[in-house]
Every structure is written in structure tokens, then in C-alpha cells.
Structure 1
Amino acid sequence: MIKKWIFLFSLLTAVILAGCGGTDNAADDERQQAEERDQIVEELDPEQETTPSNPSGDDKLGYVRYTKEQIDNEGENEHSVTIDRTSLANMITRIILRNDGFAEAATLVADDKTLIAYDKEDELDSDQAADIANKTAVSILPGYFDVYVSDDETLIQDIQSLHNSNIQDNEYDNTIDQIIDRMQQSPQGTEE
């Protein structure tokens, strides 16, 4: 009789474990599918700067894909586009300095204005230098930016003095306007 109870208890335990195992497998499958879906969404997230397989991101193509449902939600309606002004200024300055004839350059990217002051070598024509600086900035910045350039190297310090300013500050606007007035006395490059 005891063997019969042990046999029934073992059989019942095996049935329960087999049933739970099936439920766990289904739950595991759903969990794995959800993780794969999340991984794909993360890989396609434009706010994600790099992937573990390519930390620098230099070799990756830029690509995103969304469905209408992903865009039509409250969180997306509150999404705003931001510009990293420091990264833009860094990129512009580095590209300018890769051209022959430039010894030093400083770039300030403000709300809708970009100021570039540089020290050029004597061999480089002033108009050509202005053209290089202007075209470099225009090729990198969104189209609504006004670009001002100058080979007056004293303006480098003036631009540097604004690097910690806030675009909401009224005093900042006055200083920018004064620097722009001085910059416009220098060649500005050709506009096409």
C-alpha cells in the first residue's frame, strides 16, 4: 500500500513538474523574444551613441527605423531635437586646422550664429582663408546658422571669453553682436 502511495505521489509530482516545465518554456520563449525585440529597438535607437561591437562608432553607418505607432505616442510628442554646440565647434575647428595655412582657430557655436576667428600664415590669402573657414562651418551646421569669420587673431580671446556663457543671457547677446561687428570688417568668404 505504501508503495502504491509512493508511486502515485511520484507520478503526480512528475506530471506537475512536466506541466510547469512546459509553462516555463513558453514563458522563456516569450521572455527571449521580448529581449530580442528590445535589443533591436536599442540598436536602432538614435539616441544611443555607440554599440559594444564598435565603441568609436566611426565605422558605422547612421540608420534608424520606426513604425508610425512608435512615433505616435505621448513620449515622442515631447521629444525635442538638441544640438551639441561644443561638438559642432570642435569639429569645425579641427577641420579648419587640417587645411594648410592655419596656425590656430577658435569656434563658438551659439543659438543661430557661429563665430570663427583664426590666425593664418602669411602665405594664405585672406579671402581664401575666409572662404575655407566659412565653407567648413556651412558644410557642418544646420542651414539656419549665420556664420561669421575673421583673421583678426585678437578675436580668438573674445570668443574664448564666451565659452561658458548661456544663450539666454542678455549680456551675452550684446557681446556677440559687438564681436560680429568687428568680424564683418574682415573678409567673410564667398557665398554660393
Structure 2
Amino acid sequence: MLIKKGVAILGICTLALTACAGNDTDQAGQGQKVNTFNETDNHLHTNSHEPGFKNSDMKKNDTGFGYVRYKRTGVMTAEDQPKFEIDREQLADMISKLSAQVPNVDDVSTLVTDEEVLVVYATDTEDRHDTANQVKKMAMSVVPGWYHIYVTDDTGLRQNIENFATLNTNSREIHDLIDGVVKQMKSTPQGTVNEKGYENSEAQNEEYEDNTQSN
């Protein structure tokens, strides 16, 4: 009797385990997606590294990191290529606000085109070169690396870049007009980094001093 009772108990346990395993198998077989994001602790799990995975459940005001994994498959045509857009108005807003945090800098105007950043600011600094350098680095921290960045503390040029605010890259002779303003901006200190944000020793300052002497 004891042997039979033990066999019966073992059989019940076996059936229970089999039922649990079968239930999990059924769920997987029905195509239920494994939840790779723990909603309680906002942690991404290691099994989430699959093509196309991204943390789409992250709230906009969350402090979590952004993560996207993308895997290209097959041959991509020109139509399939991803298209990226830059919000130039938002970039200009960020640069102006950041530059206004530089000591002795006030009233900052920023124009962002398709390849240039023009920043005009008022300042009462005693070191114009250092201030120009700081303002330019503020812009560097925001825009992509291909941008050319020009700054000036000549507030007389503010109206010049404001005149471009309502124009676009297709406006007639726009690049020639911008180049003309850039030339005037370069007659003022540009800091110790060049227009693309790389350290450039005293080259920009020498150019400024040469232009000043020639005038």
C-alpha cells in the first residue's frame, strides 16, 4: 500500500510539472512575445539584444537611456535609405541659451543654416578671444561635426543674420550673402578653435589681428 501510494503521489507531481511545462510551451507556441522590459524597475534585460529592438515604452520625461539596434538586411535602394532631419530652429534656440550662460555674455542671436552656425552676442568681457572660444564651444556641443561655426561680438552684425531668419537654402544667392557676413564676422575674435570646432592654436587670432591691422 505504501509503495502504491508513493507511486500515485509521484505520478501526480509528474503530471503537475508536465502541465506547467506544457502551459509555457503553449504560450510560446501561440507567439506571445517575451517581455524584455521590466516595467517595475525600467531595466533592459540581456535577452533584448535583437534586431529592431528599442525601448519604445520609455516615457519622454524618464531619465532612462536611449537605445536602438538596427540591422540592415538585403540591398537598400535610395528610397530605402533612412532620412534624417535636423530641427535648425531648435538648435538655434539651444545654442543661444547655452551661450547666454557664458560669463560676460548677453543678448545672443543664432542662425543655423544647412552647414553654418552664426552667433552674434553682446559682451563686456576683458578677454574677447577667450569669450569667443567659449561661445564657439557651446555651439560645438550641439551641432553635428560637419557644421562651420562663426561667432562675433560685433552686435552691429546682428541685423545681418536676422535678415536671413525668414529665408531658406533655396533662396536666391543665399550662400553668397552668408559668405559676406561670415567674412565680416571673421574680422572679430574667433577663439582658439577653428570654424569646425578643432583646436587651431593661434591661427584664428592671427587672422583677426591681420585683418585689424589692414583696416
TM-score, scaled relative to structure 1: 0.67
Structure 1 position 171, deviation (Å): 3.0
Residues 1-192 of structure 1 aligned to structure 2 (within 5 Å): 29-30=30-31, 33=33, 44=54, 54-56=59-61, 59-69=63-73, 77-120=80-123, 122-191=124-193, 192=199
**Counterpart residue type for residue 125 of structure 1:** D
Q: Could you tell which deviates more after superposition, 73-82 or 150-159? A: 73-82
Q: Deviations over 1:81-100 (max 9, x none)?
A: 22221222111111111122
Structure of greater relative contact order (alpha carbons < 8 Å, 6+ residues apart)? 1
Gaps of 5+ in 1: 1-24, 46-50
Q: Is the 8 A contact 2:52 2:69 kept in 1?
A: no
CA RMSD of aligned residues (A): 3.1
**Counterpart residue type for residue 68 of structure 2:** V
What corresponds to 1:19 in structure 2?
none
CA distance in structure 1 between the partners assigned to 2:100 and 2:126 by the alignment? 13
CA distance in structure 1 between the partners assigned to 2:52 and 2:81 by the alignment? 19
Q: How many residues end up aligned between the 2 structures?
A: 155
Gaps of 5+ in 2: 1-25, 37-47, 194-198, 200-215
CA distance in structure 2 between the partners assigned to 1:97 and 1:56 by the alignment? 25
**Counterpart residue type for residue 103 of structure 2:** D
Query: Residues 112 and 53 of structure 1: is their aligned pair in 2 closer, same or farther, counting only changes over 3 Å?
Result: closer
Query: Residues 72 and 33 of structure 1: is their aligned pair in 2 closer, same or farther, counting only changes over 3 Å?
Result: farther
Alignment partner of 1:144: what SS? coil
Structure 1 position 139, deviation (Å): 2.6
What corresponds to 2:203 in structure 1?
none
**Counterpart residue type for residue 156 of structure 1:** R
Alignment partner of 1:98: what SS? coil
What corresponds to 2:5 in structure 1?
none
CA distance in structure 1 between the partners assigned to 2:78 and 2:176 by the alignment? 37
Structure 1 position 113, deviation (Å): 1.2
CA distance in structure 2 between the partners assigned to 1:56 and 1:156 by the alignment? 35
**Counterpart residue type for residue 112 of structure 2:** V
Alignment partner of 1:163: what SS? coil
CA distance in structure 2 between the partners assigned to 1:160 and 1:43 by the alignment? 43
CA distance in structure 1 between the partners assigned to 2:117 and 2:75 by the alignment? 35
CA distance in structure 2 between the partners assigned to 1:60 and 1:186 by the alignment? 42
Alignment partner of 2:187: what SS? coil
Alignment partner of 1:154: what SS? helix
